[in-house]
Amino acid sequence: MKNNIIDLILKSTSTKDVRLVGVEIENFVYEKNGKRITVNPSSRYSASDLLSDLINEKDKNDEKYDYSIEPGGQIEWASAPYTSLQDIYSEYTRHLDSLTGLLENNSLFTIGSTVEPISPPNSIELINDTKYQLMDNMFEGVGTYGRWMMRNTTSVQVNIDILSKEDGEQMAFLSDCISPFASLLFANASFINTDPIGKDNFRHIIWSNTDNTRCGYLFDHNIISSNNLIGKFSDIVLNAPSIFSINNKYEINQFVGPIKKWLNLLHDNNQLDDKIINSAIRQIFTHVRFKQGMLELRCTDRPPIGYEFAPVAFWVGLLTDDDIRNNLLEIFHSWSDADRKIAIRNADYLDLERIGPQNKSMFDWINYFSDLALNGLSRRSNLLSIKAETDLLIPYLELFQNKGMPGEFLQHNYLNSKKPLIDFLKEHI
């Protein structure tokens, strides 16, 4: 069974010889009174209605991107795969035109927050979907923040094609090492339950306390190098408790036991296929995970509106250039387990001066990785003869250098504004 998962991860989804990238961006949507939009169809315009209208518009315009809905009604836009980030950004601007029009027509608005700032999760409706209802029931009994994760978070996720087993394992190891710093660089959780959040990097904390059998860092699962990393990731998949099972008719059911037990039952009956294996892999929520033919990077917060592509450019600049990767491999091979642990622990706090690996501050490491990312983007655009992509990252880095982390400085701005939180949030749309 392990080999089935490995084979699927290494199965290319692309017919091109060059590496493709995909992006997923999530949004909270609100009624004008500041309450989250209802999720399921009702007498009021719902997130389900918005999803349907967005899909209809993209089909009418023959767009290649897609939409889905998260368990708390968050709307997720997923790009088509492209070589150039500028091509993806062009798609995103067209999506924004559609989204903005529908929001205005229905007296709704969105904000650029990564953690729900107003409502607790128990006040937010859950989507009427069996797999999410089973997930909700499971997370009630494990960890402490599963329902926050499902209903009260948004993110930017980056999918990067795997060109070979070694390529995928290197990218996964490097991104797992960098993720604590990326989490701080793009930290954008400022409020919960209408109150300033203080020094907590709250989305990072949420994911650290959801379910330790399927979440967290690869390092937390004893993956400490790139050696046989995909095989070790496959073990995480097989040993995690099933959230749900899917049969050969693709029906979702409750299943008690590890994922390997469910998959083996189907395999023994000659009913196992790639779609079912994919559904098993997607029950793993590590900050870095594999899907068919690609690596998915999940740790970064959703940045403020207008900066959504900064984490995309950051990751692509660091991971897709051989020279940059070799530089990073040399650095991380010199780190001890204690270095890795202190970086992960520091990522829970909005404090850039905390001392990280090798007695350097988290701020110094973030600046170093940011410079490497810009260098990688420049080298990439020259090598591939594509439009420069550094402009997708530089404005955010300037914001970070001038003001710090949005998760922190937005709290100060709000307190100084003396305004109701909902009015303050609307001003920052």
8 Å CB contact between 240 and 258:
yes
Q: What is the pLDDT of residue 427?
A: 83
Percentage of the chain surpassing pLDDT 70?
Answer: 99
- Overall pTM surpassing 0.85 (yes/no): yes
Per residue in 298-324, pLDDT (tens digit) is 999 999 999 999 999 999 999 999 999
Cα–Cα–Cα angle for 51, 54, 57, nearest 5°?
150
φ/ψ (deg, to 5) at 295: -105, 135
DSSP string over 298-330: --SBPPSTT-TTHHHHHHHHHHS-HHHHHHHHH
Please tell me the total count of domains within the chain: 1
pLDDT band at 143 (very low <50, low <70, confident <90, very high): confident
139 belongs to a structural domain: yes
Q: What is the pLDDT of residue 152?
A: 98
pLDDT band at 426 (very low <50, low <70, confident <90, very high): confident
Per residue in 31-55, pLDDT (tens digit) is 999 999 999 999 999 999 999 999 9
pLDDT band at 429 (very low <50, low <70, confident <90, very high): low
Q: What is the pLDDT of residue 12?
A: 81
199 belongs to a structural domain: yes
Per residue in 51-63, pLDDT (tens digit) is 999 999 999 999 9
Mean pLDDT rounded to a whole number for the chain = 97
8 Å CB contact between 302 and 154:
yes
Domain of 55?
Answer: 2-240+284-427
Per residue in 235-290, pLDDT (tens digit) is 999 999 999 999 999 999 999 999 999 999 999 999 999 999 999 999 999 999 99
Percentage of the chain surpassing pLDDT 90?
Answer: 97
418 belongs to a structural domain: yes
The pairing of beta strand 245-246 with beta strand 156-161: unpaired
405 belongs to a structural domain: yes
Question: What is the C-alpha to C-alpha distance for residues 175 and 178, in angstroms, rounded to an integer?
Answer: 5
Q: What is the pLDDT of residue 51?
A: 99
Reference 316, options 109, 115, 161; nearest CA is 161
SS3 200: strand
Q: What is the pLDDT of residue 117?
A: 98
Question: What is the C-alpha to C-alpha distance for residues 158 and 67, in angstroms, rounded to an integer?
Answer: 15
259 belongs to a structural domain: no
- Give residue 44's identity as a one-letter amino acid code: R
pLDDT band at 15 (very low <50, low <70, confident <90, very high): low
18, pLDDT greater than 90: no
356, pLDDT greater than 80: yes
261 belongs to a structural domain: no
8 Å CB contact between 379 and 328:
no
260 belongs to a structural domain: no
**Which helix (H) or strand (E) element contains residue 362?**
helix 362-384
**What are the angstrom distances between the C-alpha of 295 and each of 216, 267, 269?**
16, 25, 30
CATH number of the domain bearing residue 359: 3.30.590.20
Neighbours of 413 (CB within 10 A): 16
Question: What is the C-alpha to C-alpha distance for residues 9 and 291, in angstroms, rounded to an integer?
Answer: 6
Q: What is the DSSP letter of 123?
A: G
Question: What is the C-alpha to C-alpha distance for residues 328 and 339, in angstroms, rounded to an integer?
Answer: 15
Per residue in 182-202, pLDDT (tens digit) is 999 999 999 999 999 999 999
78, pLDDT greater than 60: yes
Please enumerate in sequence order all residues whose Cβ is within 8 A of that of 307, keeping only pairs 6 or more positions apart, or say none.
112, 395, 396, 399
Q: What ranges in 62-116 are assigned the alpha helix state H?
A: 85-105
Per residue in 79-129, pLDDT (tens digit) is 999 999 999 999 999 999 999 999 999 999 999 999 999 999 999 999 999
Per residue in 364-417, pLDDT (tens digit) is 999 999 999 999 999 999 999 999 999 999 999 999 999 999 999 999 999 999
Helices first, then strands: H and E counts in the chain: 17, 13
Question: What is the C-alpha to C-alpha distance for residues 219 and 239, in angstroms, rounded to an integer?
Answer: 16
420 belongs to a structural domain: yes
